[in-house]
Amino acid sequence: MSCAEVTSCNERPCEIEVVGLSRSFGKTVAVDRIDFRVGRGELFAFLGPNGAGKTTTINMLTGLLKPDNGKVLYHGELFDPKRLTVKQLIGVVPQHNNLDPELTAAENLLIHGRLFGMRGKQLQERIATCLNFADLTAKRDIQAGKLSGGMKRKLVIARALLHHPEVLFLDEPTVGLDPHSRRKMWAFLRRINQEQNCTVFLTTHYIEEADTLADRVLIIDQAKLVTGGTPEQLKAAVGNYVLDIYNEEEIQNEFFQTRPAALQRLEQLDTSVRIRETTLEDVFLKLTGKRIEP
């Protein structure tokens, strides 16, 4: 891997540092010696196809899984999942909702708060604040199992925010949501990042999610990091404009730094051609030879 941006913190104080992190399951190498840093306050997306190693990585960053090798540091200190102070620092939204469907929205938060040592009026106020922030006040006494998919997802996020974490981890926050709910969730995650002053680390296999939402994107494929940087940097590295050249059986791509350069090339071609801006899907395809989204 060559991209210097992968290991920088985008000029912010370093919140998380990952060095040589690896994990295998039997003969399957799920995460293979990855290094990166996340800056304080960044909205950071870990983008990759199914089975790339995203959940395994997030599980090691949040203490759910032990690495075979390598280390994780928060604010320069080695991560010890048993220490309460670091547990207080992070909030986790797992890939699959793990609410208690029989309990109400408020009760789900109450149990979480107690686990974090919150009690009494302070806990009740915080539950009200988090439900309100997630636009779920009207649903506080509804059983979690009876909420819509988007509401359940928001409730899991509200629960993760309850103890004022500094870093919020979300594993595939919008999987299973329809396009409209997905866009609403993006706005919600932006608000968490900006209004709650939370560093946000999310995994996704949706190109558009990483592209529109993230300050910085790290691309992972087959357990290894492919590249990283801001969406603009990643696109500029392959060329900001692309020609889709329609041949008999396939579409060929040619990349150009500027639109005039792409247009000049287009005029030389006598086949069917389309000019468009480069996407992160093009970046992934160029670097790995595959598509992310099936």
Nearer to ligand ATP, 99 or 202 (CB): 202
For residue 58, which amino acid is it? Answer: I
Q: Which of 48, 52, 46 is nearest to 16 (CA)?
A: 46
Do residues 187 and 195 make contact, with C-beta atoms less than 8 angstroms apart?
Answer: no
Out of ligand ATP, Mg ion, none, what residue 69 binds, judged by CB under 5 to 8 A for its kind, is: none
* Count of positions on this chain that bind Mg ion (CB under 5 A): 3
Distance CA 94, CA 2 (A): 31
CA max distance for the chain: 74
Out of Mg ion, ligand ATP, none, what residue 153 binds, judged by CB under 5 to 8 A for its kind, is: none
Closest residue to Mg ion, based on beta-carbon distance: 55
Q: Which of 27, 31, 29 is nearest to 19 (CA)?
A: 31
Nearer to Mg ion, 5 or 172 (CB): 172
Minimum distance, C-beta of residue 48 to ligand ATP, in the bound complex (Å): 5
* Burial class of 217 by CB neighbour count within 10 A (0 to 12, 13 to 18, 19+): buried
Query: According to CB under 5 A, which residues from 237 to 256 bind Mg ion?
Result: none
Which residues does 243 contact at the CB level (< 8 Å), separation at least 6?
Answer: 253, 254, 256, 262, 265, 266, 269, 273, 274, 275
Nearer to ligand ATP, 8 or 95 (CB): 95
Number of H helices, E strands in the chain: 10, 13
Q: Can you name the residues that pair with 92 across neighbouring β-strands?
A: 169
Out of Mg ion, ligand ATP, none, what residue 50 binds, judged by CB under 5 to 8 A for its kind, is: ligand ATP
Minimum distance, C-beta of residue 222 to Mg ion, in the bound complex (Å): 14
Query: According to CB under 5 A, which residues from 37 to 66 bind Mg ion?
Result: 54-55
Out of ligand ATP, Mg ion, none, what residue 81 binds, judged by CB under 5 to 8 A for its kind, is: none
Minimum distance, C-beta of residue 211 to ligand ATP, in the bound complex (Å): 17
Out of ligand ATP, Mg ion, none, what residue 173 binds, judged by CB under 5 to 8 A for its kind, is: none
Provide the CA 44 distance to its chain's centre, in angstroms: 6
Nearer to Mg ion, 37 or 54 (CB): 54
Out of ligand ATP, Mg ion, none, what residue 165 binds, judged by CB under 5 to 8 A for its kind, is: none
Which residues does 167 contact at the CB level (< 8 Å), separation at least 6?
Answer: 15, 16, 38, 74, 89, 90, 91, 198, 199, 200, 201
Q: Can you name the residues that pair with 224 across neighbouring β-strands?
A: 221
Contacts with Mg ion, 83-102, as mask; x by CB under 5 A? ------------x-------
Nearer to ligand ATP, 50 or 268 (CB): 50
Nearer to ligand ATP, 34 or 134 (CB): 34
Nearer to Mg ion, 92 or 273 (CB): 92
Name the site residues for ligand ATP (rule: CB under 6 A): 25, 28, 30, 48, 50-56, 95, 205
Q: Which of 162, 167, 168, 171 is nearest to 97 (CA)?
A: 171
For Mg ion, the binding residues (CB under 5 A) are 54-55, 95
